[in-house]
Chains A and B, each alone.
Chain A
């Protein structure tokens, strides 16, 4: 480690004055840290922190405290002594506070950093996300001509831009590589209200077909790839074999949804058929800035109205198509909202449990101190004086618990980040959230104050002498004991809710990992390569694919290999409508749609997919051979139910499209295609030689660790063309892991929370039962003297403790059922009311509760009757 522990350093910085004196000490510790290590640093930083008063002012000379300060100081000293006299109580409260505050703050910081942080853009509330909606109600990206119509007609937005994610291959550099790019229209920066830090924005007419390519580069890309050259403007970047001149560098703080290296202008592509065709929705969506004072609903209405008129003008392409405008910020977190809310709920529950536990402990202590307070009241301690004393005590313990909680949060957050699944977005931006810490601290402090004052009011409210007598008679705490039992029921109920959440998310993850993917997942390595630019003509792409397939298969350690356009789990970019030759042409809006996947020879074999009927592709399906397809079971079932689809014909496109008919030669089993949770879509596999694609995935089955052959394959590809970078290199296991990262994270959070909740609840239960036993020592002694057996006493105490747990379990189950709807979105193949999970949770909680009750009960059963009675 080369930097001292962050939290210790932060504390030290606050303890020392901001002058030369402070700086020299900071420096000394830093220097010694390098020799003596982190542990040493912590110890000595704390030795300074506890003396911070002397360091910050006075330097050895204490100013004379005023009367109030002095009395508070005395109270403080008294409180420290009182806490020191009851170490187990103090430890319980401090540990509860630290765990509750720490865990909830850490999780909240995590959730906040990854999901909740507002878009770092100017006035994000006025930014809109606008896209088209298909006749079936699904989201579609925006066709280019439609976007141009929006620019002309929309009045509710002051500016509007179109953009899509578009990774580029950067060549003309020493080693060609893939970079993260976004294709944007000229108004993009205007909409976002961002100005380049260097150079200028894209030219106004940069969208015009065949306008020279222009590029804006991110600050990070400028610094890392372009050596932060101040004269970079005017230089050329070759992206997918097209030249773009760099016109500007974006400011360092600029981020649009995720990091990009380059933003490229539309000119080089806006004249291509792919874009000018109105029926083509090629990955763009629009972002607009609302005019001041205009609502999102008004804008949504306007875009729907424009869509309606476009529908009349272009019935062929726009029939049934509408549009939708929503807040950009909502859209960005839409997918993750359910997870977010469920985790947020869990955070709240955990904090509640911690508060209940603290309340419980404080009331117990209050009851135990009734006598002491009564004595003090009798000796003339005023109500104000006693209240102030209690206030000081609860504040002290809240502060200590809070400080420890901050440390717990700090460490826990580190641990969580360390175990966070690879590819968790924005993990690097996760920081300990000060607001969350403050909130957790404040709620714990308020709770501490409320329940800390409770005994003070009780004590000072009654006449001193009266209380003295009553306290001795042990009846004074009956009321507080009832309150504690009620709190215990609440706490158990809360724990049940969290445990159910943990159980259900665990079951979900189990279901997910057990799921049949339809292919063999192990020992598979995948990667992609992009054949961009004019020099990659169809014949050349074809021969490249043949060549590559052969050479990859020859790599040692590779048993099978195949090329494909799309991969299972990863999903497809090519979804299209299709028609079957022997079925009546459907209404336009009801034409079925399938994921089209061009795949090379050996694809099905490499993935070990099931062949249900007919044959799969082989060498005879060349570009000159008759056009064929293989379909998946879902498609066979939907389109040809009860028939043999082999020999039937289908074509991609509408019934009046001039695309060729293709013959179905085989049916293969369904595979999980878009992540693990989504239903398998209808799929049409096309032989790659008959449909050579520019973006190609290589799939390799290996004998040993798949990642080990990566370098060999990279060399093979570079051997064919040195300007072809490999990207998205992942094993299939990694892809699967990434696809369930969200579920895994919620499971981890729930399990951590539920574990803490269970510990707190059992500590609480133990405390209440043990306290009850102590209070009833006399009674138990009498019972035993009168002939009660040990096991009777044991049963009595355990029964009384368990009655709270059982009641709490009933309430908790009811609450969990009521809340089941909110967790539904996190689950997969598991009902939110899953009886097995509920049963397991109940058994677990009652088991732990029994142990927690049994320990004090065992102690009660060993009461010596003579001793107990003599104590009177």
Chain B
């Protein structure tokens, strides 16, 4: 893990959502989090392919647990962010911070 991976905007949001949800976030949880907090509705086709891509990049990992009756016993996938994922998030935040610096006056936003 020399160079932290580059994150697309949606990937960025996904990783943050998984982090927010704490230990073991499922697909529907992540979608709900994105809806509520980021105001983004996302098609499940897009969601699951993006999660798979993050897994391929080594930023997410998952484990399968047994499902309840409401899902006809089908297993549930619980995602967690890997150390690589954390590194990528940190680096993305640093980039954003650097790019924001000095623009607060122009954009008339309260500094956070």
In the complex, which residues of chain B have a beta carbon less than 8 angstroms from the beta carbon of A32? Answer: 28, 31
Q: Which of B19-48 contact A (CB under 8 A)?
A: 26-28, 31, 43-46, 48
In the complex, which residues of chain B have a beta carbon less than 8 angstroms from the beta carbon of A61? Answer: 56
In the complex, which residues of chain A have a beta carbon less than 8 angstroms from the beta carbon of B45? Answer: 44, 46-51
Q: How far is the CA of A27 from the CA of B69 in the complex (A)?
A: 10
Known: A25-B27, A48-B45, A54-B49. A30 touches B56 (CB 8 A): no
Report the minimal beta-carbon distance from A285 to chain B, rounded to whole angstroms: 47
A25–B48 CB distance below 8 A: yes
In the complex, which residues of chain A have a beta carbon less than 8 angstroms from the beta carbon of B48? Answer: 25, 48, 55
Q: How far is the CA of A34 from the CA of B74 in the complex (A)?
A: 14
A44–B44 CB distance below 8 A: yes
A31–B70 CB distance below 8 A: yes
A24–B53 CB distance below 8 A: no
Known: A44-B45, A51-B45. A24 touches B77 (CB 8 A): yes
Please tell me which one of the listed residues B27, B28, B56, B74 contacts residue A60 in the complex, with CB atoms under 8 A apart: B56
Please tell me which one of the listed residues A27, A54, A59 contacts residue B74 in the complex, with CB atoms under 8 A apart: A27
Please tell me which one of the listed residues B26, B49, B72 contacts residue A30 in the complex, with CB atoms under 8 A apart: B72
B43, B52, B67, B71 pick with most chain A CB within 10 angstroms: B71
Q: How far is the CA of A48 from the CA of B44 in the complex (A)?
A: 7
Report the minimal beta-carbon distance from A819 to chain B, rounded to whole angstroms: 49
Report the minimal beta-carbon distance from B61 to chain A, rounded to whole angstroms: 13
Which size class do A's interface residues fall under? 20 to 34
Interface residues of chain B: helix, strand, loop or mixed (majority): helix
Q: Which of A54-101 contact B (CB under 8 A)?
A: 54-55, 59-61
In the complex, which residues of chain B have a beta carbon less than 8 angstroms from the beta carbon of A34? Answer: 70
Does chain B have a CB within 8 A of A14?
no
Q: How far is the CA of A176 from the CA of B48 in the complex (A)?
A: 58
In the complex, which residues of chain A have a beta carbon less than 8 angstroms from the beta carbon of B44? Answer: 25, 28-29, 44-45, 47-48
Q: How far is the CA of A31 from the CA of B70 in the complex (A)?
A: 6
Interface residues of chain A: helix, strand, loop or mixed (majority): helix
Which size class do B's interface residues fall under? 20 to 34
Residue of A nearest to B62 (CB): A24
Q: Which of B61-107 contact A (CB under 8 A)?
A: 64, 67, 70-72, 74-77
B46–A30 CB distance below 8 A: no
B28–A28 CB distance below 8 A: yes
Known: A24-B77, A47-B45, A50-B45. A30 touches B64 (CB 8 A): no
B56–A59 CB distance below 8 A: yes
Report the minimal beta-carbon distance from A655 to chain B, rounded to whole angstroms: 73
In the complex, which residues of chain A have a beta carbon less than 8 angstroms from the beta carbon of B71? Answer: 27-28, 30-31
In the complex, which residues of chain B have a beta carbon less than 8 angstroms from the beta carbon of A20? Answer: 64, 75, 77
Q: How far is the CA of A43 from the CA of B45 in the complex (A)?
A: 10
Q: How far is the CA of A24 from the CA of B67 in the complex (A)?
A: 9
Q: How far is the CA of A51 from the CA of B48 in the complex (A)?
A: 10
Report the minimal beta-carbon distance from B41 to chain A, rounded to whole angstroms: 10
Q: How far is the CA of A49 from the CA of B44 in the complex (A)?
A: 10
Report the minimal beta-carbon distance from A396 to chain B, rounded to whole angstroms: 21
Report the minimal beta-carbon distance from A227 to chain B, rounded to whole angstroms: 25
Please tell me which one of the listed residues B27, B46, B70, B75 contacts residue A23 in the complex, with CB atoms under 8 A apart: B75
Please tell me which one of the listed residues A24, A43, A47, A48 contacts residue B64 in the complex, with CB atoms under 8 A apart: A24
Report the minimal beta-carbon distance from A13 to chain B, rounded to whole angstroms: 12
Residue of B nearest to A36 (CB): B28
B43–A47 CB distance below 8 A: yes
Does chain B have a CB within 8 A of A26?
yes
Q: How far is the CA of A34 from the CA of B72 in the complex (A)?
A: 12
A24, A32, A44 pick with most chain B CB within 10 angstroms: A24
Residue of B nearest to A50 (CB): B45
Q: How far is the CA of A21 from the CA of B62 in the complex (A)?
A: 10
Report the minimal beta-carbon distance from B52 to chain A, rounded to whole angstroms: 5
A24–B74 CB distance below 8 A: yes
Q: How far is the CA of A302 from the CA of B106 in the complex (A)?
A: 106
B52–A60 CB distance below 8 A: yes
Residue of B nearest to A31 (CB): B71
In the complex, which residues of chain B have a beta carbon less than 8 angstroms from the beta carbon of A48? Answer: 44-45, 48
Q: How far is the CA of A34 from the CA of B71 in the complex (A)?
A: 9
Residue of A nearest to B64 (CB): A20
Q: How far is the CA of A702 from the CA of B47 in the complex (A)?
A: 63
Residue of B nearest to A32 (CB): B28
Q: How far is the CA of A49 from the CA of B31 in the complex (A)?
A: 18
In the complex, which residues of chain B have a beta carbon less than 8 angstroms from the beta carbon of A25? Answer: 27, 44, 48
Please tell me which one of the listed residues A21, A26, A31 contacts residue B28 in the complex, with CB atoms under 8 A apart: A31
In the complex, which residues of chain B have a beta carbon less than 8 angstroms from the beta carbon of A54? Answer: 49, 52
In the complex, which residues of chain B have a beta carbon less than 8 angstroms from the beta carbon of A47? Answer: 43-46
In the complex, which residues of chain B have a beta carbon less than 8 angstroms from the beta carbon of A27? Answer: 67, 71-72, 74-76
Report the minimal beta-carbon distance from B44 to chain A, rounded to whole angstroms: 4
In the complex, which residues of chain B have a beta carbon less than 8 angstroms from the beta carbon of A21? Answer: 52, 77
Report the minimal beta-carbon distance from B69 to chain A, rounded to whole angstroms: 10
Residue of B nearest to A35 (CB): B28
Report the minimal beta-carbon distance from B51 to chain A, rounded to whole angstroms: 10
Q: How far is the CA of A871 from the CA of B56 in the complex (A)?
A: 58
Residue of A nearest to B50 (CB): A60
B46, B74, B75, B76 pick with most chain A CB within 10 angstroms: B74
Report the minimal beta-carbon distance from A543 to chain B, rounded to whole angstroms: 58
Q: How far is the CA of A50 from the CA of B48 in the complex (A)?
A: 13
A28, A32, A47, A61 pick with most chain B CB within 10 angstroms: A28
In the complex, which residues of chain B have a beta carbon less than 8 angstroms from the beta carbon of A23? Answer: 74-75
Report the minimal beta-carbon distance from B40 to chain A, rounded to whole angstroms: 14
In the complex, which residues of chain A have a beta carbon less than 8 angstroms from the beta carbon of B27? Answer: 24-25, 28
Residue of A nearest to B48 (CB): A25
B76–A30 CB distance below 8 A: no
Q: How far is the CA of A23 from the CA of B75 in the complex (A)?
A: 6
B76–A24 CB distance below 8 A: yes
A43–B43 CB distance below 8 A: yes
Q: How far is the CA of A176 from the CA of B44 in the complex (A)?
A: 55
In the complex, which residues of chain A have a beta carbon less than 8 angstroms from the beta carbon of B43? Answer: 43-44, 47
Q: How far is the CA of A47 from the CA of B49 in the complex (A)?
A: 11
Please tell me which one of the listed residues A26, A30, A46 contacts residue B70 in the complex, with CB atoms under 8 A apart: A30
Report the minimal beta-carbon distance from B7 to chain A, rounded to whole angstroms: 15
Q: How far is the CA of A32 from the CA of B52 in the complex (A)?
A: 20
Beyond A28-B76, A30-B72, 17 additional contacts (C-beta under 8 Å) are: A20-B64, A23-B75, A24-B64, A25-B27, A27-B74, A28-B26, A28-B27, A29-B44, A30-B70, A30-B74, A44-B43, A44-B45, A51-B49, A54-B52, A59-B56, A60-B56, A61-B56
Offer 27 A-B interface pairs, CB within 8 angstroms, sorted by A: A21-B77, A23-B74, A24-B64, A26-B74, A27-B67, A27-B71, A27-B72, A28-B27, A28-B44, A28-B71, A30-B74, A31-B28, A31-B70, A31-B71, A34-B70, A45-B44, A47-B45, A48-B44, A48-B45, A48-B48, A50-B45, A54-B52, A55-B48, A55-B49, A59-B52, A60-B49, A61-B56
